[in-house]
Structure 1
Amino acid sequence: MTSSSVSARRAVVVDDEQPLATLIGSYLERDGFEVHLCHDGVQAVAVLRDVDPDVVVLDLGLPGVDGVEVCRQLRTFSDCYVVMLTARSEEVDKLIGLSVGADDYMTKPFSPRELMARITALLRRPRRTATVVATPAAPPIEVGALRLDVEAREAYVDGALVPLTRTEFDVLAALAARPGTVLTRRALIDAVWGPGWIGDDHLVDVHVLHVRQKLGDTAKDQRFVRTVRGVGYRIGVGA
């Protein structure tokens, strides 16, 4: 299943339920994507390397190499957007999927239209490798040992580059852009995923957890990202 347009955005759907993969692929094709379908993890890794997709819809429970390992390998060579699918609703599945670099998750059964709405929201955000129009560079944001270069989309702690995913970077940048302001989960969803995004807003908590881990921060210290109980999050002071 592919389209012939050279300029089409590319999507890879990885799911061992072939009818479901075909259904998702048909929705993506209608939206102008060149679509590639895979039904096992080993095949998926090879196709992902070859296709260089813009977005991947990835089932967690694949035979052989599971979705977590596929995503882990994918993140070594691509910063494409990943929506993880899981047939189980346990929080641990969601946490595992996102910990290896997935941007969003959906629990089966789900609406293909909702999936497309989430993909559309993700693709409104810039890729790290996108061409930047020449404009006056914004100065880096510094929070103690944290240095956030929004123009280059890079974060450093004590001078060392921190390997944040695009979503993790966007969450951190949204907080850093509003020092002293507490952002609710919904406000962060609007800032990062867009106001049209629908789903579980606790997705924000998972990404904040990973941001803290990668920055060497903890929920106890909260040097860089502070929790305001019952409200949301704000950028810390670096100490």
Structure 2
Amino acid sequence: MSGNKIMVVDDEPDITELITLYLERDGFDVYQADNGEDALRLAQSVKPDLIILDIQMKRLDGIEVCKRIRIESGVPILFVSAMSDDTDIIHGLEVGGDDYITKPFSPSQLVARVKAHLRRHQGNGWNRQVQQDEVLSLGGLTIDIPARTVHIQEAEISLSVKEFDLLLCLAQAPNRTFPLDELYALVWGADSMGDTRTLMVHISNLRKKVEPDPANPQFIVTVRGVGYKFHYKEGTSHVYR
């Protein structure tokens, strides 16, 4: 994994230097920006393999930077913020963030998260390449794995990289219940450390896109007290309005 390009965007120099120090110790090439406008220009020129992005910044905040990057790239974006409010976390994940970590944080924990995301996202960033060869058709929902596309009946729906990975993980084992921590580990490639808000926000976003009635999910079902499963009975087809 040595030599991967990591872009660190934060307007606090001490934080940026600390993150850079630990990443460079592990052999990463680190590029820095201290505001959103410079971050967008740097991303275009460097095309990083992963972005560590602060939310609160001058000259474009992290939310807007993430939204603009998502127009053209599925590069992993890890939000780092002093804010632990659920609303801010949800907003960051809804606009395309893959994960988050709150300040203060353990630098070694951050590096571990970076490595996990890079393992899971190889080929899903600026130049996407998928080697799998399979199409899943389940109750009106079609998942083309090599093309990384999802269709509901004949209409293609747009999913983020993490939403696609999460749907695929569930759909490849229909009717199997995945505990929250296990599902997080499978899709994010890291230990959730007991915080599964990232997973739950992505499940909510995914339901809005693939369920006939997101308030009463038919595909992605909650197993109370355990986790989630992809509900499917062979020969059935869900009805979309």
Q: Are 2:73 and 1:78 equivalent residues in the alignment?
A: yes
- Other-structure match for 1:232: 227
Q: Are 2:17 and 1:22 equivalent residues in the alignment?
A: yes
Q: Are 2:28 and 1:68 equivalent residues in the alignment?
A: no
- Matched to 1:27, the amino acid is Y
Q: Percent identity?
A: 37
The number of aligned residues is 230
Look up the SS of the partner of 1:178 in the other structure: coil
Cα RMSD after superposing both structures: 1.9
- Deviations along 1:190-239, one digit per CA (max 9) or x if unpaired, are 21122555451232111101111222554423132111221111113452
- Deviations along 1:111-167, one digit per CA (max 9) or x if unpaired, are 11101111111111132345455x7x33x1122221111232221222222221221
Distance 2:195 2:35 in 1: 28
TM-score (norm 1): 0.89
1:113 equivalent among 108, 113, 134: 108
Matches within 5 A, 1:60-209: 60-125=55-120, 126-128=122-124, 129-132=127-130, 137-138=133-134, 140-194=135-189, 196=191, 198=193, 200-209=195-204
Distance 1:109 1:29 in 2: 20
How far apart are residue 42 of structure 1 and its match? 1.0
Look up the SS of the partner of 1:124 in the other structure: helix
- Matched to 2:137, the amino acid is E
TM-score (norm 2): 0.88
Contact 1:171 1:192 in 2 (8 A): yes
Distance 1:172 1:221 in 2: 17
Q: Which runs of 5+ in 2 are unaligned?
A: none
Distance 1:166 1:25 in 2: 26
Q: Which runs of 5+ in 1 are unaligned?
A: 1-6
